Amino acid sequence: MSGIVVHLPQGSGEAGGEPAGEAVTLRLGPGEVARFGRGSARTPVELRLADAAISRLAGEIRVTDDHWQLSNHSTTQSYLVENPEGAGEYFRVPPRRAGAPIPFEFSRVVLPTRRGTTVSFQVFAPDHVYLDADGAGGGWGSRTVTAYSLDETAAYFLVLVALCEPRLRDESPVAVPTTPQIVERLRGHPACGRLTARAVSSHIDYLAEEKMRISAPAGADPRREARRNGKRETIVGLALRFGLVREEHLALLPPRAAAGIPARGSAR
C-alpha cells in the first residue's frame, strides 16, 4: 500500500466554547503516524477534535506496508470504525487497544462526545498489495501492487461504471454523463438511494486523484466546469483503454427502465 489519505471535515467537534478547526487532509506513507485528539500546546496533534469529552491525545493512526492501524489512547471510551459502504458494517476499538488493523478501504473513525452526538474523520486506503502469481515456492523480492486498485463492490466503482456506460453500449462516442445524470442513473440501486451530486463529485475526484492519479494537463482550461468535464473524460478513457470497466460490469447498475432510461433496442 502506497499510503492513506485522512480527511477531517471543517468544523468537526465544535463544542464547549472551543473553536472548530479548519478542514485537514493528510497524506501518510508507510511508517508515518498521525495523532488525533483535543490537543494542547504541550500535546500537539495532527487532527484536532475540539470537544471537551475527547482526550488531549485520543489516539493515533499508523501506516504499515499493506494496511493501517488505529490505537485508542483513552482509558474509558471505545471508538468505532465504520465502513460507509458496508451497509452498517463496523467494529469497536476498545480503550487502550494498540495497533488495531483496519481492513476497510473507506473508513469513518467515530468518537463519542458529551452532547450525545459524535465527531468523526475519514480514512481512505486506496491501494492494495497482492502476491505475484508466480511467486509461490520461489524467491521473494519486492511485492507487486496493482497499477489501478479498484474495489468493484464500492460506490465509487458504480459511479465509474455509470460514467463508462454510454461508450460501453455504443450509444455515444463522445459524451460522458454529467453528475446529475449519474445521480439519476444510480437512483434505483439499493446502495445509492440517497446519493447526492456532491457525493458523486467526491467519488469522481477520488477516482481521478487517488485511484488513477490523473493530473490536469498543462494549459488546461482553468474554468471549474471545464476541468470537471475533462476529468470525467480522462477517467472514462483510461478505464476503457485498460479494461478496468467492461461490459459485464454493466450488470452492477440498476435496470435501465428503473432509472427511466429506455432499454437497449426498445422503441423510442
Its pTM stands at 0.63
Maximum mean pLDDT: which of 36-40, 213-217, 224-228: 36-40
Give the pLDDT band (50/70/90) at residue 139.
low
Please provide the CATH number assigned to the domain covering 4-130: 2.60.200.20
Extract the C-alpha cell encoding 88: 452498517
Of 26-35, 144-153, 183-192, 245-254, the one with minimum mean pLDDT is 144-153
Residues 6+ apart with CB under 8 A from 170: none
Of 8-12, 180-184, 188-192, the one with minimum mean pLDDT is 8-12
Stretch 192-217: mean pLDDT: 84
Q: pLDDT: is 13 or 205 the higher one?
A: 205
Q: How many CB atoms lie within 10 A of CB 31?
A: 10
pLDDT of residue 169: 87
Stretch 160-182: mean pLDDT: 86
**DSSP label at residue 263:** P
- Give the SS3 label for residue 79: strand
Q: pLDDT: is 131 or 122 the higher one?
A: 122
Q: Locate the DSSP E strands across the chain.
A: 4-8, 24-28, 33-37, 47-48, 59-63, 68-72, 79-82, 90-93, 100-102, 106-112, 118-124, 129-130, 144-145
pLDDT at 98 over 70: yes
Q: Measure the CA–CA gap between 26 and 45, rounded to whole angstroms.
A: 12
Map out the domains of the chain as residue ranges: 4-130, 155-252
